Structure 1
Amino acid sequence: MKIMKYIVVLGDGMADEPIASLEGKTPLEYAKTPMMDALAAQSEIGLLHTIPEGMKPGSDTANLSVMGYDPEIYYSGRSPLEALSIGVPMKDTDVALRCNLVTLSEEGSYSEKIMIDHSSGEISTEDAAVLLQAVQRELERDGYHFYVGTSYRHCLIWENGRVVPLAQPHDILTQCIGEYLPQDAVLREMQERSYEILAEHPINRERRRQGKNPANSCWFWGAGTKPALTSFEETFHKKGVMISAVDLLKGIAVGAGMKNIAVEGANGGLHTNYRGKAQAAVDAVLKDGYDFAYIHVEAPDEMGHQGSAERKIQAVEYLDEQVIKPVYEQMTASGEEFRLLVLPDHPTPIRVRTHTADPVPYLLYDSTKLQEHSWKYNEREAKASGNYIAQGHKMMPYLLGME
């Protein structure tokens, strides 16, 4: 008896809004995606609402939802999930905060500066680690500890801390940071001091010389307490793997007891190792005894934050050609029965350069139940299908045939 295999391909932030310069189409609709469109003609498509009413639209809440964990029950903050990924030992009384290395404008006092870039031009982990070590030497003190993550994404643990409101840097791009600075005096002072430490660091002088954005300040956000996810295998009776370059997704996997597979060259950017991710998923379910693989691709989201429709289209086309196509072809050639779910976690529209809570289009292919439609895969046709799942966390049991 054949055992059904399951693969999710998640294009982070891939959904968008119609754009006049793209003939009134979304980037997903405008992009050349022959594989997704061919699958859509044989699949169920529809809309999925991944963000519960009243919760902030983020990759944290949305991916928990897609993974089958109701964010209203399991969400305790973004940064604690990332802390799990990088092996930070959290106590129940600790609060974890994301520490972005951001680019601020260089004129005026700290509170007068503008948020230029939430990712410092997607700075490399190697350069970021050196900069964070400089911050650690100057700012670390009793009760506050910095940990190196990936690229611009790092972690601050605040012992016996408080979950305080903090602005997401990608929400305030091009805005003056003054009204968004932490109200907590220690966090605010550390952010201000980080600028003094980093602005003229040799790495940032070299980045300016090369025309790159300097990583000239820390920015704290995403505060939360130690998470407590249930085991994915115990909940859904499937052995699963996570394939992502992003600490948040790796942290969800750690919390859910899933295996993280590291792919060489996978970096969360536009030029990541797409084919390597696809191959890792196929190998996991065909050779290594796993039932389920979750491939997370960050690039569409990053291009949405950058406000580049052209690069977002490119990210979607790479996903189609270098992830979905090889997964489909190899799974089909294997003769194994499989279900393939393609979707974003949330929209990251070019217009606003941040996340929104609108429903996202999904494509659910089942090799044992081929359908016949004229659908293509995009937001407009997913809505026209009339299929709608109102609670994102119900998609996982639906995919796995439990509902």
Structure 2
Amino acid sequence: MEMSKNAKRRLAFVLIDGVGDVSLPRLHYQTPLQAAATPNLDAIASAGVNGLMDPVEAGLACGSDTAHLSLLGYDPRVYYRGRGAFESMGAGLAMSPGDIAFKSNFATLDENTGIVVSRRADRHFEEEGPILCAALDGMKLPSFPEYEVRVRYATEHRCGVVVKGPKLSGNISGTDPLKDNRLLLKAEALDDSEEAKNTAAVVNELSKEISRILVSHPLNGKRAAEGKNIANVVLLRGCGIRIEVPPFEKKHGLSPCMVAPTKIIAGLGLSLGIDILEAPGATGDYRTLLTSKATAIARALSAPLEPSPSIFVPGEDQHKPGREDGYDFGFLHIKAIDDAGHDKASILKVRALEAVDQAIGQLIRLLWQAEKCGNYQYYLCVTGDHSTPVEYGDHSFEPVPFTLCQLKDFVSAVGEDNVIQTSLDAFPLPSVKAGDDLSDKVELSGMKEDRHKAFAGDSVYEFSEIAAARGCLGRFPGSEMMGVIKKCLKLKNE
């Protein structure tokens, strides 16, 4: 197939949250990526260029928000102002300059001792969360009637909380003790300004009033009767203001869109001027429909051949159509791998990585169909924002693999028939029970050694932390990622 020299170059960027890991004894000293059967990810590595990436800098265990800022070309040391604004905007709360917001958890408080016995009232809070948020939204603060409080459900046990009013500062501490069985904290000013002192007083009253409303809510009475943790406090952390930054499109010359059901990532995208696409069934947790995510990104990158999905606008009830001429940079965020790391679920992480690989195969088929029908050249990029090893159950400082190839090279590597025959049927993420015998789930010893040979780019033919170290890109900081991408797309750097 001969492509015009003026063909539009478009990139599908897949970020697997928490993808990196360490060698595990129960995986025969392989990482989950090495143990998982991931033929599509391996073929991307085989068809392209590879490297190891430190999302912010070597040796730093970073959060998803600071990592995403760095990867997208925004120095978090300059632009980061707390994650609360990202979470709240992603949950649908519009923010104006001067508003403050928090990344918040529904939690369980021992009212007699003031100890937070569980920072997560319930990981599966999809039904109760919106009900409790509706009870809190618009609440009044007796000592501070001039302030408006907005609350919106996010995902799992999380919600967004925004405070609007005069003389607010983001420079305060939160109320979250960050670990179970510790005392609920009081917000404190982190500088000597009157704004910070005033904001701390407002937030402490807000925390008190939230608990008063939640304790008397009938839903918590029902949970108590059923022997479940009650959600009688909202932990407020990551106080932040909406950042003012150059829009992504102006900075990089690429029109961007994003599928990110995880609210904090959606809010970060909105802050950078990135359109957030609707993807029915995409939830940002283990229940998510990866096929829906892949389809939404493919449609957005295929427009105007395909109608672009609707986009999400915070603070508005209706949704708006996406760009008629489509997008150049399609960001697909996948969260469930990170959840498996936090849950210390090694088998589930392996199986979920295999599901991600299947969804990437679906994305590739849809993009290849568009490339054959339209004047497009597609590229694929896959990486992570940090490592979340199942041994630790938290983010760590290990670098993550990075791979980038042109779609036509991928197709040449695996054969067009294999691409076209990929099923587009929707599928759920795997369910793995505790105690399952891993040897019944995955092959272990050297299973990838003979699957691929390097097809183009460099000598790497496997997508893993170990293989990526051999790549021609070497080891590089996340701040250089967009430069690498634009160089491969033959676009001018800023």
Q: TM-score, normalised by structure 2?
A: 0.72
Match of 2:464 among 370, 378, 394: 378
**What is the letter of the counterpart of residue 329 of structure 2?**
F
> Residues 84 and 106 (structure 1 numbering): CA distance in 2 closer, same or farther, change over 3 Å?
closer
Instruction: Please tell me whether the aligned partners of residues 241 and 258 of structure 1 are also in contact (alpha carbons under 8 angstroms).
Output: yes
Superposition pairs for residues 160-199 of structure 1, below 5 Å? 160-166=168-174, 172=179, 175-178=180-183, 182-183=187-188, 184=200, 187-188=203-204, 190-191=206-207, 194-195=210-211, 197-198=213-214
Q: 1:282 aligns to what?
A: 298
> Residues 55 and 225 (structure 1 numbering): CA distance in 2 closer, same or farther, change over 3 Å?
farther
Instruction: Please tell me whether the aligned partners of residues 138 and 150 of structure 2 are also in contact (alpha carbons under 8 angstroms).
Output: no
Instruction: Please tell me whether the aligned partners of residues 387 and 400 of structure 2 are also in contact (alpha carbons under 8 angstroms).
Output: yes
**What is the letter of the counterpart of residue 334 of structure 2?**
V
SS at match of 2:457: coil
Instruction: Give the Cα separation in 2 of the matches to 1:131 and 1:303.
Output: 27
Instruction: Give the Cα separation in 2 of the matches to 1:349 and 1:211.
Output: 32
Match of 1:231 among 247, 255, 258: 247
The count of residues paired between Structure 1 and Structure 2 equals 395
> Residues 51 and 205 (structure 1 numbering): CA distance in 2 closer, same or farther, change over 3 Å?
farther
Match of 1:327 among 350, 353, 363: 363
SS at match of 2:332: strand
Q: 1:28 aligns to what?
A: 33
> Residues 194 and 43 (structure 1 numbering): CA distance in 2 closer, same or farther, change over 3 Å?
same
> Residues 285 and 179 (structure 1 numbering): CA distance in 2 closer, same or farther, change over 3 Å?
same
Instruction: Please tell me whether the aligned partners of residues 110 and 192 of structure 1 are also in contact (alpha carbons under 8 angstroms).
Output: no
Percent of aligned positions with the same letter in both sequences? 26
Q: 1:303 aligns to what?
A: 340
**What is the letter of the counterpart of residue 295 of structure 1?**
L
Cα shift readout 1:355-389 (whole Å, capped 9, x = no counterpart): 22332111112236643635311112222436335
Deviation of 1:107 (Å): 8.8
Cα shift readout 1:167-198 (whole Å, capped 9, x = no counterpart): 777x53xx422276644565456446645643
Deviation of 1:230 (Å): 1.2
Q: 1:355 aligns to what?
A: 395
> Residues 354 and 179 (structure 1 numbering): CA distance in 2 closer, same or farther, change over 3 Å?
farther
**What is the letter of the counterpart of residue 403 of structure 2?**
L
Q: 2:405 aligns to what?
A: 365
Q: 1:251 aligns to what?
A: 267
Deviation of 1:264 (Å): 0.9
**What is the letter of the counterpart of residue 321 of structure 1?**
Q
Q: 2:428 aligns to what?
A: none
Deviation of 1:305 (Å): 2.0
> Residues 11 and 168 (structure 1 numbering): CA distance in 2 closer, same or farther, change over 3 Å?
farther
Deviation of 1:272 (Å): 0.4
The CA RMSD over aligned residues, in Å, is: 3.0
> Residues 165 and 355 (structure 1 numbering): CA distance in 2 closer, same or farther, change over 3 Å?
farther
| Structure 2 alignment gaps of length 5 or more | 189-199, 305-325, 410-455
Deviation of 1:340 (Å): 0.8
| Structure 1 alignment gaps of length 5 or more | none
Structure with bigger helix share is 1
Q: TM-score, normalised by structure 1?
A: 0.86
SS at match of 1:351: coil
Deviation of 1:332 (Å): 2.8
Instruction: Please tell me whether the aligned partners of residues 99 and 162 of structure 2 are also in contact (alpha carbons under 8 angstroms).
Output: no
**What is the letter of the counterpart of residue 115 of structure 1?**
S
**What is the letter of the counterpart of residue 110 of structure 1?**
G
* Residue 79 (str. 1) matches residue 84 (str. 2): yes
* Residue 149 (str. 1) matches residue 153 (str. 2): yes
Q: 1:400 aligns to what?
A: 486
SS at match of 1:114: strand
Greater mean alpha carbon deviation, residues 44-53 or residues 296-305: 44-53
